[in-house]
Structure 1
Amino acid sequence: MHAARRAALSLLAAVTAAVPMTSARSAAHSGPASSGAARLDHPAKKEIAMRLVSSAENSSLDWQAQYAYIEDIGDGRGYTGGIIGFCSGTGDMLDVVELYTARRPGNVLAPYLPALRRVDGTASHEGLDPGFPDDWRRAAHDPEFRRAQDDERDRVYFDPAVRQAVADGLGVLGQFAYYDALVMHGGGDDPLGFPAIRAQAVQRARTPARGGDETAYLTAFLDARTWAMRQERAHEDTSRVDTAQRVFLREGNLNLDPPLRWQVYGDHYRIG
């Protein structure tokens, strides 16, 4: 995640929504991926995706318990909170609070909006301490705040990742690999961002949409992803890829069908 992520990801979402299906950057609600008709945005598959990300972000499969999560993990991005790790220093936490306030004026987090705008792009807590973490946790009891988190997750990360993956001819596992990478690395022109990771993969292997083998392409994508992770100290543990996504790939489970077994940070998880 990066300081310029908010604007860059909004642009990414707009571009993937606007380009025709013949393009590699196209929107994708008009056909199945190469591995079958199932898609990551099917409710059962989306639930799996949320649990997989939660195992890496929160060491728990209970992703719905993470709406109230908030702490500074010391990665230079200020406070990290919520279901996918929205950050005060990267703009997406501000987006969540702005959306929540538009829907629920006068909510407990609304007074922090000026401070969130000031600290965007920094690791600072100025204007947020000492009350912001407790008020974030208090807001998490409000269904409207949880819905704001869901909607921003989908708008900025989930939907653009699925659109791009389906345009590249990828099945459910590939769609998840794109989503997980976009959550962690963000978009834009950063050399460690999702578009750069995808560009490296495309140089090494053709996407299925361009006649390539899906397993070979996903191997190239995960290789590029782990390289990018190792460039940042906060992300240098690559187990969310190497002992999770690569496990599913080696098993040939391109549809992310349960039962699923994986490890993250040495912890074992199972679905189904």
Structure 2
Amino acid sequence: MRSTTERTRVQPGNGGEPRSKGFWDAEIGGLPLRTAVPVALALVTSVGIAFATLMPASSPDAAAPPVVVPTGPSQITLPPAGSPPPAASTSPTGGPTSTGGATTTTTPKPPAGPTLPAQVVAMLDDITSVFEQSKTTPQYASIVNDHDGCGFKAGWASFCTSRGDLFTVVVQYTDAVPDNPLRRYLPTLQKLGETHSEDTVSLGDSFVNDWRTAAADRRFDEAQLRVAHQLFLTPALAIANQLNIRSNLGIEDLFDTALMMGASSSDCDGLPKLITESIIEASGTPASGITEQVFLAYFNQVRLKHMRNPCTTGRQKVWSDAVDRVQALQQLADKNCWNLTAPLEIGADFKVTIRTPTD
């Protein structure tokens, strides 16, 4: 942002007197227009982002956390520039819909537009696998407990038992394959998600083996892809549409942030919060004339600041140790790898090459 000194420097050749005030020096509420306009833009955009992120409807009588509606694992709709943010779908009465006794909430979908090709989505997923498990293809059978507040982190996107998204994966898999080894854990997974508990003992020693057994079923892998795309890629695409971010790398920046740090406006280190701060730092967005390269550089700086000093409980160490994710993405921008075309070298501390994107 422009400094106060920059805004008030004198013009040469006029006797050292401050230059006369122009249009952008006019004040509104004590702020010059050159400062007030970016701030107002940030506030307006942050309101729009709140509608475009996942804000599931709730019901005091809900029997389970909201379950996302499945979408295809490899075809994600990219909204056209200038489309209005989508609104959440609800039942005719305005509340969650009920299916078979379980409460579900349909999540917002971007407006119809050009699709993000399957190969691009596969590349985004492979980058996630590099960041999460240091592998160049999705690790559906992965399951660990890093004792970082998530409980079990399982699957290619490190779904958490304490966050409830792991429960959603098992629900969707059970819808597709009722007789599966993970079905019996649903009541416990539901409770862990509702209470945000990092406990893993209540799942028993067999849960790890049963997760790995389920991962041998392609239908389970597809359930993992659907849930992660709906929870994290869909809101990232909606925000990219609002900001006029069109590159594959720009979408990956937003997708990785949503997956790691949250996609909701209620997440204090989440994607909407970081976007709002980035708009202020950059004094605009690609939609208002800032180049995508410049805006994303500001965004990465803001993200690094939050990762090194998060307000999210329990993330100080794990996020501080993961700054290489942002460094790797910025290196791709510095190399002009905006299309994420294979072979793609992921740098920073990873130093691996994705040669054939594969889900």
Normalising by structure 1, we get a TM-score of 0.84
1:241 matched to 2:319: no
- The one-letter code of the counterpart of 1:220 is Y
Q: Is the 8 A contact 1:261 1:270 kept in 2?
A: yes
Relative to structure 1, is the Cα distance of residues 51 and 107 closer, same or farther in structure 2, using a 3 angstrom cutoff? same
- 1:262/1:142 Cα in 2 relative to 1: closer, same or farther (>3 Å)? closer
1:240–1:263 Cα contact (<8 Å) kept:
no
**Whole-angstrom distance in 2 between the partners of 1:248 and 1:46:** 17
Q: Higher helix proportion, which one?
A: 1
Structure 2: which 5+ residue stretches go unaligned? 1-52, 58-67, 70-76, 87-109, 310-315
Bigger radius of gyration, 1 or 2? 2
Determine if the alignment matches structure 1 residue 208 to structure 2 residue 208: no
- The aligned counterpart of 1:95 is 168
CA contact (8 A) 1:54 1:60 kept: yes
Change (3 A) 1:104 1:167: same
Match of 1:224 among 291, 297, 302: 302
Change (3 A) 1:213 1:24: farther
Equivalent runs, 1:59-138 vs 2, <5 Å: 59-63=134-138, 66-120=139-193, 121-138=196-213
- In the TM superposition, residue 271 of structure 1 has moved relative to its aligned partner by 3.2
CA distance in 2, matches of 1:219, 1:28: 28
Aligned mates of 1:126, 1:258 — CA distance in 2: 42
2:135 counterpart letter in structure 1: S
Counterparts of 1:140 and 1:247, CA distance in 2: 33
Whether contact under 8 Å (2:232, 2:263) holds in the other structure is: no
2:341 corresponds, among 249, 257, 262, to 257
CA shift in 2, pair 1:254/1:24, >3 Å: farther
Residues of 2 paired with 1:253 and 1:21: CA distance? 22
- Structure 2 residue 250 is the aligned partner of structure 1 residue 164: no
- C-alpha distance in structure 2 between counterparts of 1:108 and 1:146, whole Å: 14
* Structure-2 residue corresponding to 1:175: 251
Gaps of at least 5 residues in structure 1 are 1-7, 32-38
Contact 2:243 2:286 in 1 (8 A): yes
1:30 matched residue in structure 2: 113
Against the structure 1 CA distance between its residues 241 and 249, is the aligned structure 2 distance closer, same or farther, given a 3 Å change threshold? same
Q: Which amino acid aligns with 2:353?
A: R
Q: Is the 8 A contact 1:208 1:214 kept in 2?
A: yes
1:187 to 238, 244, 263: 263
Counterpart amino acid of residue 205 in structure 2: P
Question: Matched residues in 1 for 2:253 and 2:262: separation?
Answer: 13
Comparing 144-153 with 77-86, which one deviates more in the overlay?
Answer: 144-153
The answer to whether the 8 A contact 1:77-1:123 is kept is yes
Contact 1:24 1:168 in 2 (8 A): no
Aligned residues: 250
Contact 2:345 2:354 in 1 (8 A): yes
Q: Deviations over 1:192-246 (max 9, x none)?
A: 111111111111122212221111100111111111211221111211111x111
Per the alignment, residue 230 of structure 2 pairs with 155
Amino acid at match of 1:240: R
Aligned Cα root-mean-square deviation (Å): 2.4
Superposition TM-score, scaled by structure 2 size: 0.64
Letter aligned with residue 257 of structure 2? A
SS of residue paired to 2:199: coil
Name the CA distance, whole Å, in 2 between partners of 1:113 and 1:57.
Answer: 25
CA distance in 2, matches of 1:130, 1:269: 34
